[in-house]
Amino acid sequence: MALDITAAAAEPALLDLPWDIPLEEWPSSLLAALPRGISRHVVRFVNLSGRVLAVKEIGETVAHHEYDMLRDLSRLDAPSVVPVAVITGRVGADGEELNAVLITEHLQFSLPYRALFSLSMREDTATRLIDALALLLVRLHLIGFYWGDVSLSNTLFRRDAGEFAAYLVDAETGELHPDLTPGQREYDVDLARTNIIGELMDLQAGGYFPLESDPIDVGDRIRTQYDLLWTEVTAEESLPNQQRQYLVSERIRRLNDLGFDVAELRMASDDTGEHLVIQPKVVDAGHHNRKFMRLTGMDVGEHQARRLLADIDAWRATHDMQDVPLEEAAHDWLTDVFAPIVRAIPRELAGKLEPAQLYHEYLEHRWYMAQQAGHDIPREEALASYITNILQSKRDEAVLLEPASERSSSFSAASHPDLW
């Protein structure tokens, strides 16, 4: 049987991989040392042509379905891994047929939830992951994507300022519809709750989740957060005519704060003519991300963008630049403030965090030092302390290897948990 490769772009280097060997027997010389989450399939990470790819052995029909789903999600700009290829027609050296494989790009600086709990065994870690998953689920439902297998295990997480951003990594059971029924949405949320509770119980049994925390109470948060977000993004609201201008602006501001832009808003008078009924019809996630990209050209996480935009505003205020156009001020900030911090990171530490997350953590550390000292801390002193006491002890999240050894420092994970 001839090897068959389905790919959106030519990938001749794929032919160099040993497709006649079962994936679990691939030599370690090919593999990238990345953490693997729990999967029902054999998954391996490989270095190929200067990038890291995730290779998953799976049935041919399911592989093509998941590849198509991931391509659709990428086209719709949904937070998900990017598909590279499906390879079928694999035959082992003994003549036995081997399973097809689905190949996706590794999401750089992402971590499976278990790797995050190995860094910090706190209930707060779980709640932040659940909040990120709830937002991801809302975004997917808004574009008509029914997941069908929602869990922490099927999600990757990237640090996004003090929060996490969630990305879909498994679309085997996914379906794309023009709109989802309430029943489809409810099933996804209920399944997410059930799976999360089970995953937290498993972590607790392994000593990675606090014994004093109740996995059921924590897992229930997915429904609360999902319902709050879905209502804010989609619900009708009746506004008194005399307050309509302010209240319409307030609704849009709340959506912006959640990271959504309102592209279309339905407005109509009620039967009495005394109230205006409004309902967001088209909302796009990534409000702060788009604004920051327009100003700087950098594509960063939503919470990172919000934090960096605030830093630009603070920098303008402290440098008497309020009358300078925002675009010009942002360019100066990028050149004079952000870039020098990133360039000062030693080369051997550059893979620890992506630049926007690194800058956010530097700001947090500088603020923490100022609180301890009772006065402002010079940039050079704060940066040196951050590199020595925080960054060096982090695991390399670009290509995550083994956990770093614990450090004894007043700026440890225990004393400064938001940076871990």
Q: Is residue 404 part of a domain?
A: yes
pTM above 0.75, yes or no: yes
Position 311 in a domain:
no
The reply to whether 117 and 174 lie within a common domain is yes
Does 65 score more than 90 pLDDT?
yes
Residue 325 lies in a domain: no
Same domain, 115 and 164: yes
Are 140 and 64 within 8 A, CB to CB? no
The amino acid sitting at 11 is E
What would the mean pLDDT of 337-363 be, rounded to a whole number? 91
* SS3 category, 5: strand
pLDDT of amino acid 398: 59
Model confidence over 283-307: pLDDT tens digits?
678 888 889 999 998 988 999 999 9
Regarding predicted confidence, which is higher, 343 or 121? Answer: 343
Segment 384-393, tens digit of pLDDT: 999 999 998 8
Question: Per-residue pLDDT averaged across 71-91, rounded?
Answer: 94
Going from the C-alpha of 86 to that of each of 20, 101, 396, the distances in angstroms are 15, 6, 29
Picking from 251, 285, 319, the residue at the C-terminal end of a domain is: 285
* Interatomic CA distance for residues 411 and 77, integer angstroms: 38
Sign of the alpha-carbon torsion through 149, 150, 153, 158: positive
Examine residue 312 and state whether it is found in any structural domain, yes or no.
no
- pLDDT averaged over the chain? 86
* CB-based contacts of 280, cutoff 8 Å, min separation 6: 233, 234, 251, 255, 260, 262, 264, 265, 266
CATH of the domain at 72: 3.30.200.20
Instruction: Decide if 42 is inside a domain.
Output: yes
| 138 and 216, same domain (yes or no) | yes
The answer on 132 and 98 residing in a single domain is no
| pLDDT recorded at residue 397 | 63
Residue 47 maps to a domain: yes
In the listed set 105, 133, 168, which residue is the last one of a domain according to the structure?
105
- Domain containing residue 199: 110-232
| pLDDT-based confidence at residue 161 (cuts at 50, 70, 90) | confident
Q: Are residues 50 and 129 in the same domain?
A: no
pLDDT for 25 equals 93
**Any idea what the CATH number is for the domain that residue 168 is in?**
1.10.510
Task: Give the ranges where 76-145 is alpha helix by DSSP (H).
Answer: 113-119, 123-142
Element (H, E) at 194: helix 182-205
Over residues 10-48, the pLDDT tens digits come to 778 898 899 999 999 999 888 887 666 666 789 999 988
Domain count, the chain: 4
**Confidence class for position 242, pLDDT limits 50, 70, 90:** confident
Q: Is the pLDDT of residue 276 over 90?
A: no
**Same-domain status, 376 and 409:** yes
Do 275 and 373 have their domain in common? no
Coil, helix or strand at residue 182: helix
CA-nearest of 183, 184, 190, 219 to 204 is 219
Do 170 and 64 sit in the same domain of this protein?
A: no
Mark whether 161 and 80 lie in a shared domain: no
State the pLDDT at residue 401: 41
Please tell me whether residues 215 and 249 are part of one structural domain.
no
pLDDT of 274 reads 76
| Per-residue pLDDT, 415 | 41
Residues 130 and 217 placed together within one structural domain of the fold: yes
Residue 303 lies in a domain: no
Can you tell me which residue has the tokens 């047929």?
97
For 339-370, letters b (16+ CB in 10 Å) and e give eebeeebeeeebbbbbbbbbbbbbbbbbebbe
Sequential DSSP letters for 11-75: -GGGGGS-TTS-GGG--GGGB--------SS-EEEEEETTEEEEEEEE-HHHHHHHHHHHHHHHH
Nearest partner of 52 among 365, 420, 397, judged by Cα = 397
- The residues facing 156 across adjacent strands are 167
For residues 266 and 378, membership in a common domain is answered with no
Do residues 162 and 120 touch, judged by C-beta distance below 8 A?
A: no
Structure confidence by residue, pLDDT tens digits, 164-176? 999 999 999 999 9
- pLDDT band for 414, please (50, 70, 90 cuts): very low
- Is the residue at 186 inside a domain? yes
For residues 97 and 90, the answer to whether their CB atoms sit within 8 Å is yes
Does residue 235 register a pLDDT over 90? no
The three-state secondary structure class of 145 is strand
